[in-house]
């Protein structure tokens, strides 16, 4: 008979594979964690892209262009293009082969208001006041040249336009804080049954050499995103933390063992939510993921 963890992991990954999610943020593939993040951000159950669409509808005009950086296969961007057919979306990415695949998929889906362009977000060259908004949907934490990036965003946005971001803003290159190491290892020992320890049973800092070898841009300057944005000529008018400073190091690479149809698994997640909430309230941990709005200063 198959091991329970293997059955849960196989069931969940096969039924709910989401290729747009990076390995480190695949915790958000689980519906309860999506709900947790939504409750923290909005006080209710709302899809994150639905929230972006609402903000774009309020902050942009029909016919305006919206830039999304690091779009990859444009899975998120095509959702927004369908929700807002009267806006024109431009996605940029450095991976030409992936962009070509995405273009073919867009053509097959009949999405005409999303164009994909080859571009490096560390070397942007944006036309003056071209865009009504810039989106960072989990890509800004890959930007190393943050100062140049914000400067180009300021050039490319019309006066009063906004950056809308949903980003990892935690420790650079996943060099977890001492508190994350301590509390994460504690809950793995005391709260999370061993059947879920398919990747790790304690929280450790990921070796920087490994990060550089596998993805040199991963979380390269993530902790500096908000500070450099403010220094780059933007008013950060709203920041909503969505936690995950405990959930991510505990669950990354092993969230697939939690079957949403298994209420014992869901009970473990609920206990983790309660622990993270307590640690946030006591200022033991901060928010490793955040949504924010930054408005171009005139």
The tens digit of pLDDT for each residue in 106-143 reads 999 999 999 999 999 999 999 999 999 999 999 999 99
* Angle (CA) 63 68 72, round 5°: 130
pLDDT at 4 over 50: no
pLDDT at 150 over 50: yes
pLDDT tier, 276 (very low <50, low <70, confident <90, very high otherwise): very high
Name the DSSP class of 241. Answer: E
Q: What is the mean pLDDT of residues 153-178?
A: 97
Burial group, residue 160, by CB count within 10 angstroms (0-12, 13-18, 19+): exposed
Q: Which domain holds residue 115?
A: 4-296
Are the C-beta atoms of 259 and 237 separated by less than 8 Å?
Answer: no
37-49 pLDDT tens trace: 999 999 999 888 9
Name the DSSP class of 291. Answer: E
Burial group, residue 289, by CB count within 10 angstroms (0-12, 13-18, 19+): buried
> How confident is the model at residue 137, as a pLDDT?
96
**Cα 39 to chain center, whole Å?**
16
What average pLDDT does the chain have? 92
> How confident is the model at residue 11, as a pLDDT?
36
User: From start to end of 152-298, where are the E strands?
Assistant: 157-168, 234-241, 289-296
**Cα 278 to chain center, whole Å?**
23
pLDDT tier, 3 (very low <50, low <70, confident <90, very high otherwise): low
67-101 pLDDT tens trace: 999 999 999 999 999 999 999 999 999 999 999 99
Taking the C-alpha atoms of residue 104 and residue 97, their distance in angstroms, rounded to an integer, is 11
195-249 pLDDT tens trace: 999 999 999 999 999 889 988 999 999 999 999 999 999 999 999 999 999 999 9
Give the CATH number for residue 226: 3.40.50.150
Question: Nearest Cα to 289, choosing from 112, 25, 65, 19?
Answer: 25
pLDDT at 20 over 70: no
> How confident is the model at residue 298, as a pLDDT?
80
> How confident is the model at residue 24, as a pLDDT?
52
Burial group, residue 282, by CB count within 10 angstroms (0-12, 13-18, 19+): exposed
Q: List Cβ neighbours of 146 (8 Å cut-off, separation of 6 or more).
A: 140, 221, 224, 225, 228, 229, 232
pLDDT at 23 over 70: no
Q: Give the pairing type, strands 157-168 and 289-296.
A: antiparallel
pLDDT tier, 26 (very low <50, low <70, confident <90, very high otherwise): confident
Domain count across the chain: 1
pLDDT tier, 56 (very low <50, low <70, confident <90, very high otherwise): very high
The per-type count for the chain, helices as H runs and strands as E runs, is: 11, 7
Q: Which residues pair with 240 in a beta bridge?
A: 291
Better-scored residue on pLDDT, 21 or 297: 297
Helix (H, G, I), strand (E, B), or coil: what is residue 115? strand
> How confident is the model at residue 114, as a pLDDT?
98
pLDDT tier, 297 (very low <50, low <70, confident <90, very high otherwise): confident
pLDDT at 9 over 90: no
Share of the chain above pLDDT 70, in %: 92
Taking the C-alpha atoms of residue 60 and residue 293, their distance in angstroms, rounded to an integer, is 13
């Amino acid at each position: 008979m198959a091991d329970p963890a293997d059955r849960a992991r196989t069931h969940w990954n096969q039924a709910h594979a989401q290729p747009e999610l990076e390995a480190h943020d695949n915790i958000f593939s689980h519906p309860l964690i999506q709900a947790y993040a939504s409750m923290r951000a909005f006080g209710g159950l709302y899809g994150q892209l639905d929230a972006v669409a609402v903000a774009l509808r309020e902050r942009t005009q029909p016919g305006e262009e919206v830039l999304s950086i690091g779009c990859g296969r444009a899975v998120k961007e095509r959702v927004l293009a369908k929700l807002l057919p009267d806006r024109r979306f431009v996605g940029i990415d450095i991976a030409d082969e992936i962009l070509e695949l995405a273009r073919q998929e867009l053509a097959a889906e009949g999405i005409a208001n999303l164009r994909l362009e080859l571009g490096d977000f560390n070397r942007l060259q944006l036309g003056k006041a071209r865009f009504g908004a810039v989106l960072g949907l989990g890509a800004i934490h890959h930007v190393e040249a943050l100062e140049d990036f914000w400067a180009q965003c300021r050039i490319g946005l019309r006066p009063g336009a906004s950056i809308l971001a949903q980003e990892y803003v935690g420790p650079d290159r996943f060099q977890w804080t001492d508190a994350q190491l301590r509390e994460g290892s504690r809950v793995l020992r005391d709260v999370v049954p061993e059947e879920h320890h398919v990747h790790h049973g304690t929280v450790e800092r990921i070796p920087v050499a490994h990060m550089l070898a596998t993805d040199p841009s991963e979380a390269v300057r993530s902790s500096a995103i908000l500070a450099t944005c403010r220094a780059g000529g933007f008013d950060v008018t709203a920041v909503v933390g969505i936690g995950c400073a405990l959930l991510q190091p505990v669950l990354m690479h092993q969230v697939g063992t939690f079957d949403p149809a298994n209420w014992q698994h869901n009970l473990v997640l609920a206990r983790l939510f309660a622990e993270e909430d307590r640690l946030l309230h006591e200022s033991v941990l901060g928010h490793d993921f955040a949504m924010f709005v930054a408005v171009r200063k005139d």
